[in-house]
Amino acid sequence: MKMNKRGLLIVISGFSGAGKGTLMKSLTEEYDNYALSISATTRAPRPGETDGKEYFFKTKEEFEAMIANNDLIEYAQYVDNYYGTPKEYVLANLNEGKDVLLEIEIQGALLVKKQFPETVLIFITPPDANELKSRLINRNTEDMDTINKRLNRASEEALGVENYDYIIVNDDIDTCVDEFHELIIAKHDNNIEACNKYCVSNNINIINEIRESLCDFKKGE
Ligand code: 5GP
């Protein structure tokens, strides 16, 4: 009988506009070891999003019932809405040996790490703050008020990066996908040297520069 090794639980966070969605899509299309968890949310679908694909779209009442039934591994509020990770899919796929990807914000990431200490926490960042702002604006899915709230939230999230294990820069998406996969292979192989390239301590300067620019945006500079 073939015994599957338990998969890795991988949390991906990053500033809104860092390109996490595209990264997740490419990883699951290119490699078959990944299973992408679909979150529940109370936010309205964006044009092109469908229920059960990007998210399970819920009313506030439905979401609160999921919390009460203990159906979620974690949940958090992010810019006026609830977001949470359904438990069943994650546990089933880990048991099947899949590496499960959770694309969630920082409060949720820390809750997952607390429950499952072996979780790999990865922070995805654009190369600089101007790129971050222009990606959010060019995405054309949010009004300026929401973009500003998301930029404010980004500067809060930047303060929590030290809690993560690794940072990957998304400058070019193909390179980002390759680097992500290289890191996960290195984790499976316990290849500490290969993992070190992405360690937070070796990449924190990029985040520090973004932090400073986000503060300047806040001041309106
Ligand atoms: P968006 O509205 O842009 O799709 O997502 C907003 C934020 O919510 C992102 O930072 C995303 O990572 C986070 N998020 C999405 N799903 C979940 C979830 O299940 N739990 C938590 N804690 N955050 C989530």
Residue nearest to atom 14 of ligand 1 (CA): 104
Please check the confidence at residue 2 and state whether its pLDDT lies above 60: no
Closest CA to 124 of 12, 5, 208: 12
Between CA 38 and CA 117 the distance in angstroms is 21
Render pLDDT for 84-142 as a digit per residue (tens, 0 to 9): 999 999 999 999 999 999 999 999 999 999 999 999 999 999 988 888 888 878 877 88
State the distance from the centre of ligand 1 to the C-alpha of 190, rounded, in angstroms. Answer: 29
Q: Which atom from ligand 1 is nearest to the alpha carbon of 43?
A: 2
Is the C-alpha dihedral spanning 177, 90, 9, 97 positive or negative?
negative
More confident residue, 134 or 181: 181
At 3, is the pLDDT very low, low, confident or very high (cuts 50, 70, 90)? low
State the distance from the centre of ligand 1 to the C-alpha of 83, rounded, in angstroms. Answer: 6
State the distance from the centre of ligand 1 to the C-alpha of 216, rounded, in angstroms. Answer: 25
pTM for this entry: 0.90
State the distance from the centre of ligand 1 to the C-alpha of 75, rounded, in angstroms. Answer: 9
Pocket of ligand 1 (CB under 6 A): 13, 16, 39, 43, 74-76, 78, 83-85, 103-105, 107-108
Number of Cβ within 10 Å of residue 205's Cβ equals: 8
| CA dihedral of 122, 126, 129, 132, whole degrees rounded to 10 | -110
